[in-house]
Structure 1
Amino acid sequence: MHILPPVRPEKSIERLTGILEPIAEEVKVVPRKRITWTHKGRQQMYLFQHGELSMLRASDGLLLVTVYEPHLFGIAEMIQPTQGHILRAETESTILRVDAAQAEDLFRQQGVWEEVAAVLSYHTAYLIYRDAQVVQQRTYSVIRNHLQEMILLPEEARMRTTILDYIQDRTLLSRSSILNVLSALKQGKYIAFRRGGYLLEVGHLPESF
């Protein structure tokens, strides 16, 4: 069964961001900079404002998701600081850093735990969606899913990363298995990419190949 991606809780993100902005500290982050969940020994939350930011699995650096729109990170870590994930800027980015304990106090004062739950549920649902894309799937299915995901990215983002890098960063597939499938899809005129492997077009991809 095909699982649809979860819908971003835009209003909840906006409301929580509005509450936290007055106590937040702006931080400019350079490309490839990794951001940890603590600052001066205290747990943090991050309000992503501009740029391109990825979440990686801390154990092996597997890329879980990249965001381009304003977003709020650190709610799960505020409640359960397991340090299982880290953030990484892909381009020059602007984030706001907030002390998690202060954020929690404000959430309690403002009575916005319903919004907190909506954002936390979204993050959980996204991880379930992502697992459905890659876990116990055939190699072709995994590549197909990521091609369909990649073509929806802004063109600027697609022209910064090759198809091979995009899929390898997000899966455990080998370079050769990815390239074999991409070559077959290109020969079948299902996809088009420019020199260097930058995705230009994705047609109707077959269910199996």
Structure 2
Amino acid sequence: MHIHPPVQPDQSIARLTAVLKPLAEKMKVIPRKRITWDYQGQSQLYLFIEGELSILRASDGLLIATLYDPHLFGLAEMIQPVRGHILRAEQDSTILRVDAQKAADVFRREGLWEDVAALLSYHSAYLFYRDALIVQQGTYSVIRSHLQEMILLPEETRMRISILEYIQERTHLSRSSVLNVLSALKQGGYIAFKRGGYLTELTDLPERF
């Protein structure tokens, strides 16, 4: 069964971003730069405007998600000071930071806490989605789900990250486990990839293999 991700609340993100931009400070972000939740001792919100940004689990660097569309981060950290995740730019990106307390004041004044709740709900649902992809799943099921996710990426993105790297960053499966499944899928005509392991084609993958 193909597991579908939750629907991102784009309108809520747009409304929150619109009111925060006048308060925001632009950051210089280069590829592989990691971004933490505090700046000069104050909790921050981050407006991701354009580029490519990943969310990593702080404890072990597991990649939770990579984003390409505008987004807002730091709402949960603004309310609960848990630092379980960090952000990492994957290429030159436009990111703005806003002091969390100033943001909270704006949300209260503009009556935007419903939009805040919508975005927090989406983040929670996405974590459940990621768990469904990998927790208590067999190796093939995990790889199958990530291949189905990967083929939906723009071709430019797929040509920058190999299948092996994409899956290992998100699952910590062993190199041999991933390569064995990919080899079997290629022999079966279910998948095609360029030299270096860059995904080019994917047919309907079997439920079990």
TM-score w.r.t. structure 2 length? 0.98
**Deviation string, structure 1 residues 106-161 (Cα, Å, up to 9, x no partner):** 10111111000000000000000010000000000000000000000111111111
Contact 2:3 2:145 in 1 (8 A): no
**Where do 5+ consecutive residues of structure 1 fail to align?**
none
Amino acid at match of 1:20: L
Structure-1 residue corresponding to 2:99: 99
Q: Secondary structure at the match of 1:141?
A: helix
Q: How does 1:181-200 map to 2 (within 5 A)?
A: 181-200=181-200
Contact 2:13 2:115 in 1 (8 A): yes
Amino acid at match of 2:81: P
- 1:7, 1:39 → 2: CA distance? 31
Q: Secondary structure at the match of 1:117?
A: helix
Deviation, structure 1 residue 27? 1.1
Q: How does 1:37-186 map to 2 (within 5 A)?
A: 37-186=37-186
Q: Secondary structure at the match of 1:43?
A: strand
- 2:74, 2:128 → 1: CA distance? 18
Deviation, structure 1 residue 2? 5.1
Structure-2 residue corresponding to 1:9: 9
Amino acid at match of 2:54: S
Deviation, structure 1 residue 176? 0.2
Structure-1 residue corresponding to 2:207: 207
Amino acid at match of 1:126: Y
Contact 2:162 2:198 in 1 (8 A): yes
TM-score w.r.t. structure 1 length? 0.98
**Equivalent residues, number:** 209
Large movers: runs of 4+ above 3 Å: none
Deviation, structure 1 residue 172? 2.2
Amino acid at match of 1:96: L
- 2:99, 2:53 → 1: CA distance? 20
Amino acid at match of 1:60: D
Deviation, structure 1 residue 28? 2.5
Identity across the alignment (%): 72
- 2:3, 2:196 → 1: CA distance? 32
Structure-1 residue corresponding to 2:25: 25
Q: Secondary structure at the match of 1:5?
A: coil
Contact 2:25 2:98 in 1 (8 A): yes
CA RMSD of aligned residues (A): 0.8
- 2:189, 2:3 → 1: CA distance? 26
